Structure 1
Amino acid sequence: MKKYLIFFLAWPLFAGLNNLDIDKAISMLENNNLELKISHFNEQMKAYEATAAKGHNYGTLDVTVTGMRSNDAGNVFGFKLQSREATFGDFGAREFMDATGQNGGVPPESAYTTPPQALNYPDARNHYQTKISYMLPLYTGGKLSEYGRITEALQRMSQWDTQKLMNEKIFQTKKAFYDISLVDNYILNLSKIIQNIRHLESIVKGMGEEGYARDIDLLEVQARRAEAESMHNQAKLNRDLAYQFLSFLLNEEVTSIKKVNDMAPMPSVDRSEVENNNIDIQKALLGLQITEMAMKVEEANYLPTIGAFGEYGSADNSLWNEFEEKDSYTVGIQLKWNIFNGGIDSANLEKAKVNYLKVQNEVSLAKSGISLKVKKLETEILSKNADVKSYEKQLRFAKKVYENYRSRYKEGIASISDVLMKQSKELEILLKLLTFKNERNTKIFELNSILNTGGKV
């Protein structure tokens, strides 16, 4: 009994989502959808890139600790100088004095030309140097500030990309909900049609027993029932596939949804707000700003760059020995100004200007293209609305005609083929009606994405 109780308590943890509401599904998207998670990671990386770009304004501070050993004459003498331990003896002064001493020494002229042994063949020496260096850009012609603004703009661009992806996922989620609802409606209607065919089958059987119907009539009705049942099973498989896609979007198993009206509401279109809200237009405008910044970066190549540096350190033949007594510092400033590079800067600047003009036209194209697409979708939706109304009337009429022909068959004034033909017409109209509803909903969701209305249903 205990193990059954444990299973009962644990079972809901593994069950799928039941009776899922469309608003809750949309709210789950941002946290659950894997593609959106990846897009948010891209946003974070762009944010770090923007922070890194700003960091160049503060320069670099490095600490370097070096340990060496050498018997190279130049190195050893340099080590002693850096350690502030160089003596006249390192130049061979003692050898010179010994050579020119009063006890039969050589003439000074000869001693000057004699290579000193102490200087040219020194003993090997250890050298440890600790150095702190700081380099700071003072003026770069605006390059660093523009690079910082460009990386910030690219971060905003990644946020627009995430929002556009979010709209696409909302589009797909809404469509999945409405597709499932339409298929459910289709399955319900097919069930009624199958029920009608079975009723017709019982009528044919009864009339056959009385000698008013032929065997071929019964076979024809049974064939039609088999066809309708096959369509019914296919519709169920399509519904299962829609549930699998919805589960993929939410990254969680969905077993049932709260059905929605099979006709999605028409969004209100404020043409003055389309340009302010549409993501493609906003991305194009941001791209224009980036190309303008890039043009200023190229203009900065005509200006000088000024940098400052400072260095503090200490060196000795043992690590950190007498650090303050043997320390040293160096400070400086550098100006660098390129005055000729074969026309490369000029060509790059002109290229940036042309690119700016190109993106200006792309912005205008995006605005006009989005406006045209909105008008086109509105027209298509209105057309689909008319088709839906027409086929709803035709479906009601087809049902009445089928019922009339079924009654006429019972009276012997219509053939079973006529009855099944009218029933086929009803099914054909039903399929077209659901197709038009599906196409209409798809266009409405596409319009919502263009208008950037977020998760509003």
Structure 2
Amino acid sequence: MKKYLIFLLSWPLFAGLNNLELRQAISMLESNNLELKISHFNEQMKAYEATAAKGHNYGKLDVTAAAMRSNDAGNVFGFKLQSREATFGDFGFAEFDGTNPNILNVQPSDLNYPEARNHYQTKISYILPLYTGGKLTEYGRITDALYRMSQWDTQKLLNEKIFQTKKAFYDISLVENYILNLSKIIKNINHLENIVKSMGDEGYAQEIDLLEVQARRAEAESMHNQAKLNKDLAYQFLSFLLNEEVNTIKKVNDMAPMPGIDAAEIESNNIDIQKALLGLQISQMAIDVEQSNYLPSIGAFGEYGSADDELWNEFREKDSYTVGVQLTWNIFNGGIDTANFEKAKVNHLKVQDQVSLAKSGIALKVKKLETEILSKNADVKSYKKQLHFARKVYENYRSRYKEGIVSISDVLMKQSRELEVLLKLLTVKNERNTKIFELNSILNKGGNV
């Protein structure tokens, strides 16, 4: 019984969201959407890449421990030298005989056939780049810029998902209004059917009139069912975007508000323009990287360690160190550096034109969308007037049918016109809203919801 009560109390948590508001949906989208989560992971990887690139400035510190055993003459003698244990006896002096006239031809067995020896060597080495012609600095700046680029990519994806979420809300609100209007039309058809039946009972209507009305009702009911299926599909898509089941939403006005447009704000806010400008900076950094190939590279290194035939035996007594500085300067490589440098400069010029193209292209797209939205606004006003007129005409023809002035076909034609205009109004509102959400994405600002 206790488990059953717990299930009943927790069941609403798994039943899906009800009466969801658009602002709540956008907040959920930012934290729940799977594509956005993946994009944030890409950001994190770019941030780590930037950190890794900067890490090269601090050099590299390694600890190496090696354990070996050998009876190779060169290795054994080298082991003893590294362990600071070499003696004259290792050269075969024990076999030296000054009275032997062929002493120079004697092959000392202690030197050539030494006993196998263990060798343990531990050393710490540190390599530090002192000067690279600015190459490491530019690599760090480039990886930082690529991290910022990934953030712009995430913002653009977020705008796209907000676009889709808003569109889903407005689509659902539109289709619910459409379903409501279809329900009224079906109710009117049912009322008309009752009129036809009454007139038939009095001998003023034929059976074909009744069949014609019933056929029209079947058509309207089919449209009604299709609209409900479309609403269910919109809810499924919204649930996919939010990564959570949504049952119902709080309806919004079926006409999305028009955002304000400012040319200066477009250039400073639009993501494609900002990415192009960032790409221009990266291309300049790439030039600096290629130019650094003409300059020398200077690095320092240091090494400290000890070796013995026993692990870490007499470490301080047998330790050693090596320090040094190395300069590398390429003088000639067949013109490769020059070609790469010129290529980077040409790419920089290309990106400059891409920035100009992005600015003019976005401005043109904004103007085009603005014009199309204004055109859709006019269409909406026109279809609203046409719908009002079509409804009045239908009511007039229905009254005239009662009086026997017009046929049932005439009435249904007028009613068909009402359905046609209603569908056109729904379509143009949907197209208008889509263009407004697209414009909002380009402007990259919140705006009213």
TM bin, normalised by shorter chain, reads over 0.9
Q: Which moved more, 1:254-263 or 1:112-121?
A: 112-121
Matched residue, 1:106: 100
Matched residue, 2:82: 82
Aligned to 1:86, the other structure's residue is in SS state coil
Distance 2:448 2:321 in 1: 66
Provide Cα deviations, 1:369-404, integer angstroms capped at 9, x if missing partner: 000000001000000000000110110000000000
Aligned to 2:404, the other structure's residue is in SS state coil
RMSD over aligned Cα atoms: 0.9
Q: Report the alpha carbon displacement of residue 106 of structure 1 after superposing the two structures with TM.
A: 1.8
Distance 2:446 2:304 in 1: 57
Q: 1:403 aligns with which of 395, 398, 401?
A: 395
Provide Cα deviations, 1:265-324, integer angstroms capped at 9, x if missing partner: 000011111000000000000001011101110000000000000000000001000000
Matched residue, 1:336: 328
After TM superposition, list the pairs within 5 Å mapping 1:186-205 onto structure 2.
186-205=178-197
Matched residue, 1:386: 378
Q: Say if 1:314 and 1:64 are closer, same or farther in 2 by CA, change over 3 A.
A: same
Provide Cα deviations, 1:82-129, integer angstroms capped at 9, x if missing partner: 000000111111211xx22xxxx423xx21331211111111111000
Matched residue, 1:306: 298
Provide Cα deviations, 1:412-456, integer angstroms capped at 9, x if missing partner: 000000000000000000000111100000000000000001374
Distance 1:120 1:445 in 2: 86
Q: 1:425 aligns with which of 417, 431, 442?
A: 417
Give the count of matched residue pairs: 449
Percent identity over paired residues: 83
Matched residue, 2:65: 65
Matched residue, 1:18: 18
For the pair 1:243 / 2:254, whether they are aligned, the reply is: no
For the pair 1:442 / 2:434, whether they are aligned, the reply is: yes
For the pair 1:144 / 2:136, whether they are aligned, the reply is: yes
Distance 1:226 1:75 in 2: 98
Q: Which runs of 5+ in 2 are unaligned?
A: none
Distance 1:443 1:420 in 2: 35
Distance 2:340 2:100 in 1: 71
- What TM-score do the two structures reach when normalised by structure 2? 0.99
Q: Report the alpha carbon displacement of residue 210 of structure 1 after superposing the two structures with TM.
A: 0.4
Q: Report the alpha carbon displacement of residue 4 of structure 1 after superposing the two structures with TM.
A: 4.7
Provide Cα deviations, 1:323-377, integer angstroms capped at 9, x if missing partner: 0000000000000000000000000011101100000000000000000000001
Aligned to 1:420, the other structure's residue is in SS state helix
Q: Which runs of 5+ in 1 are unaligned?
A: none
Provide Cα deviations, 1:187-231, integer angstroms capped at 9, x if missing partner: 000000000000000000000000000000000000000110010
Matched residue, 1:44: 44
Distance 1:152 1:193 in 2: 61
Contact preservation (8 Å) 2:259, 2:447: no
Q: Say if 1:438 and 1:75 are closer, same or farther in 2 by CA, change over 3 A.
A: same
4+ residue segments displaced more than 4 Å: 1-4
Aligned to 1:263, the other structure's residue is in SS state coil
For the pair 1:213 / 2:228, whether they are aligned, the reply is: no
Q: Which amino acid aligns with 1:418?
A: D
Q: Which amino acid aligns with 2:363?
A: S
Matched residue, 1:8: 8
Contact preservation (8 Å) 1:170, 1:455: no
Q: Say if 1:131 and 1:3 are closer, same or farther in 2 by CA, change over 3 A.
A: closer
Contact preservation (8 Å) 1:23, 1:455: no
Matched residue, 2:56: 56
Distance 1:267 1:289 in 2: 31
